[in-house]
Each structure stands twice: as structure tokens, then as C-alpha cells.
């Protein structure tokens, strides 16, 4: 908000989206608009401030499950990557497992900050979860973080017996940019043929560099929580070049894959007024057209990250219930 109580242009644009927001989420949406206005326009000068604000986020206390930190080797001479291993139980049983990648627009966020929610999921499904602390853009290009997340998946697969994991029931999962990483990881695993991925769970995934570059939503849509300007900066940092061009590396962008055939079954959830709604719906349609079983859930009136700020809201409970059911079907639980 500008001095004198007037709204900035960015806040005015986001406020135009409030009539489209689920009534239960409107209070949270107003707070998000006010809190995020100081980070725009998104760019190198604002990135340290954004990262510092996110790093201060406090996770609520949750019942403990075993959590271990390990360093896994990364291929192509890229050193090691930190992994958080949750709920390992080397008791002779073979449980399902999830390789998780955190969100943050490729430019911020942390696996550590997601531990609380992952602990809940690990307890609910009695599964092992490995979360990858991949390097952020722009300091690390897409090729580095892709190799790091793949290294986490490969480590999980190779350590399955010691962790109490069933190699045939390994999923990849993530939210926002983490969903984009998970989609890339599923494709990389398919192409390399070393690790059979059984399922991919993508929550409002960031899949297409053209969103916010060569395509923008109608006014009032896709402007709360994460908008076109932020998306353009996140992709530029990740790709190392201007997004939306024909010659961006297609290996770095899930939506630009020539073929989605042979990918694992997918669950995709997105809010109807999320910036990513169009690209996520299109990706689910492409999966289906390629013979890949895909479940798509579009939450009415939900903006980007709605479930994080209002976990008790009806739409948040809906997506969590649908996600749990999808995991149970995929894992045969």
C-alpha cells in the first residue's frame, strides 16, 4: 500500500480478483495482496527480501516421525545434494515412498520449511518421504536442480531395502514450482530408464514458461499469490534466458515436452483462479490424450497456495482428501 493509504497498481490489479475468490478465502486473499505487494515488481533487487521473509515462516508443532539428513551424490560432477528422509522403518516391511520437491517459483523456498506437512502425510499413509534441498535459481540453472532432484530419486531407489521401501511403489510429488520439478523428474526417469516411477502428484504445478510471457489470463484472474510478472521472472531465472521464446530448452519445461506417453499416472489439482489453471488443465488433457491415467481437480474460487494459508477451508479440505485418495489408489492401500 502506498503512503496515504492508497493502493499500488499491483494491489489494485490483485484486488480486482477478489470477486472471483471463494468467500471463505477472501480474508486470506486480502492479507496476501497486502503482504506480497512489497515484493513487486519481482526481480533481483527484491529476491533477497523475499527469501528472508519466507525463511522466517514458522512451521507448527507436529507429532514427530523419524527425520534424518543425508547427502547424496549428484551425477555429472555436481557434488552432493541434501536430502531429508522421513519415516524410514527398516523393519522388513516394504512401504510406499514419495520423492518430494518443494515450491517457491524456482527462486525461493526450502525443503526444510515443508517438513511439517510432509510429516503429516508420512504418518497418514505410513510411507517414507524423501525431500530434496535442490539449489535455487538464478544461482543454479535448471540443469543443476534437475540433476539434484534426480539424484534424490536414484538414492531413494537404491536405498529402498534399507529404508523399508517397496521399489514398485515410488511416487514423485510437489507443489507449485515443486510440482514442475516433479513433472520434470517423472519425464527424466522415463527417459533414463533407471527408476520406475509409479505415480506423480502435482499440486498447482508450474509447468509452462509461456504463462505470463506470451499468454496472460483475463483481468482479475491469476493475480493472487503468484502472478504473471512473478512467473516471468521465476522462469527467466530458471532457464537463464527470456521465457516464452520458441528456442527455450524444452527439457526444462514440462509443458513443452514433445511426448507425454509412458509417464506415470498423475493427480493434478489447481484452483480455478490460479495463474496455473490453464496450463495445468492443458497438461492433464495432454496426459489423457497420451494414454496416461490422469485425475484433474479444479477447485472453484481458489487462488495459488490457498491450502497453505487456509488449511481448514472447504476447498483445502477437498484437495487434501482427494490427494490422499489418489495416493491410496496408486499405492494400493
pLDDT digits (tens, 9 = 90+) for 39-60: 666 777 778 777 787 776 655 4
Determine, yes or no, domain membership for 206: yes
CATH of the domain at 180: 3.40.50.1820
pLDDT at 64: 64
Catalytic residue among 274, 280, 307, 316: 274
The whole-angstrom separation of Cα 124 and Cα 26 is: 30
How buried is residue 123: exposed, middle or buried, by Cβ count under 10 Å (0-12/13-18/19+)? Answer: middle
Q: What percent of the chain has pLDDT over 90?
A: 78
* 304 catalytically annotated: yes
Determine, yes or no, domain membership for 6: no
Determine, yes or no, domain membership for 12: no
Number of domains in the chain: 1
Grid cell 516433479 is found at: 182
Write the pLDDT tens digit of every residue in 67-120. Answer: 899 999 999 999 999 999 999 988 888 999 999 999 999 999 999 889 989 999
pLDDT at 34: 84
CA 202 to chain centre: 7
Query: Which residue segment(s) compose the domain that 205 sits in?
Result: 20-331
Average pLDDT, stretch 1-15?
46
Write the pLDDT tens digit of every residue in 278-324. Answer: 999 999 999 999 999 999 999 999 999 999 999 999 999 999 999 99
The answer, as to whether pTM is greater than 0.95, is no
Q: CB–CB of 139/107 below 8 Å?
A: no
Determine, yes or no, domain membership for 155: yes
The whole-angstrom separation of Cα 229 and Cα 42 is: 7
pLDDT at 62: 58
Give the relative orientation of helices 142-158 and 228-239 as an angle to the nearest 10 degrees.
Answer: 80
Write the pLDDT tens digit of every residue in 273-284. Answer: 999 999 999 999
Torsion, CA 86, CA 267, CA 310, CA 13, rounded to 10: 130
Catalytic residue among 110, 131, 145, 176: 176
Catalytic residue among 131, 304, 307, 316: 304
Q: What percent of the chain has pLDDT over 70?
A: 91
Mean residue pLDDT across the chain: 91
Determine, yes or no, domain membership for 4: no
Q: Is the pLDDT of residue 123 over 80?
A: yes
Determine, yes or no, domain membership for 276: yes
Q: Is the pLDDT of residue 231 over 90?
A: yes
* 274 catalytically annotated: yes
Q: How many C-alpha atoms does 175 have within 13 Å on its Cβ side?
A: 23
Determine, yes or no, domain membership for 261: yes
pLDDT at 10: 55
The whole-angstrom separation of Cα 293 and Cα 20 is: 30
Write the pLDDT tens digit of every residue in 233-243. Answer: 999 999 999 99
Determine, yes or no, domain membership for 3: no
Amino acid at each position: 500500500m502506498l503512503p496515504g493509504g492508497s493502493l499500488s497498481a499491483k494491489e489494485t490489479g490483485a484486488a480486482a480478483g477478489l470477486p472471483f475468490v471463494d468467500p471463505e478465502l477472501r480474508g486470506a486473499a486480502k492479507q496476501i495482496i497486502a503482504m506480497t505487494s512489497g515484493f513487486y515488481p519481482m526481480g533481483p533487487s527484491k529476491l533477497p527480501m523475499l527469501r528472508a521473509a519466507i525463511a522466517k515462516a514458522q512451521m507448527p508443532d507436529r507429532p514427530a516421525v523419524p527425520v534424518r539428513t543425508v547427502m547424496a551424490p549428484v551425477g555429472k560432477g555436481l557434488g552432493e545434494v541434501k536430502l531429508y528422509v522421513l519415516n524410514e522403518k527398516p523393519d522388513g516391511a516394504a512401504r510406499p515412498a514419495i520423492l518430494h520437491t518443494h515450491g517457491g517459483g524456482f527462486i525461493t523456498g526450502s525443503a526444510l520449511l515443508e517438513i511439517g506437512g510432509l510429516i503429516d502425510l508420512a504418518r497418514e499413509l505410513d510411507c517414507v518421504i524423501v525431500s530434496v534441498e535442490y539449489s535455487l535459481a538464478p544461482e543454479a540453472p535448471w540443469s543443476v536442480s534437475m540433476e539434484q532432484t534426480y539424484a534424490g530419486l536414484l538414492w531413494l531407489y537404491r536405498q529402498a531395502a534399507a529404508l523399508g521401501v517397496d521399489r514398485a511403489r515410488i511416487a514423485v510429488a510437489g507443489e507449485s514450482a515443486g510440482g514442475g520439478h516433479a513433472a520434470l523428474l517423472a519425464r527424466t526417469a522415463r527417459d533414463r530408464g533407471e527408476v520406475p516411477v509409479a505415480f506423480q502428484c502435482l499440486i498447482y504445478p508450474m509447468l509452462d514458461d509461456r504463462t505470463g510471457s506470451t499468454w496472460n489470463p483475463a483481468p482479475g484472474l491469476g493475480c493472487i499469490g503468484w502472478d504473471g510478472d512473478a512467473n516471468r521472472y521465476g522462469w527467466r531465472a530458471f532457464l537463464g534466458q527470456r521465457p516464452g521464446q520458441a528456442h527455450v530448452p524444452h527439457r526444462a519445461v514440462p509443458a513443452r515436452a514433445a511426448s507425454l506417453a509412458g509417464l506415470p499416472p498423475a493427480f493434478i489439482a489447481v484452483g480455478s483462479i490460479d495463474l496455473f489453471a490453464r496450463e495445468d488443465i492443458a497438461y492433464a488433457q495432454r496426459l489423457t490424450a497420451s494414454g496416461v491415467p490422469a485425475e484433474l481437480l479444479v477447485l472453484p474460487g481458489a487462488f495459488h497456495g490457498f491450502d497453505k494459508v487456509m488449511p481448514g477451508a472447504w476447498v483445502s479440505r477437498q484437495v487434501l482428501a482427494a490427494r490422499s485418495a489418489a495416493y491410496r489408489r496408486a499405492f494400493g492401500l
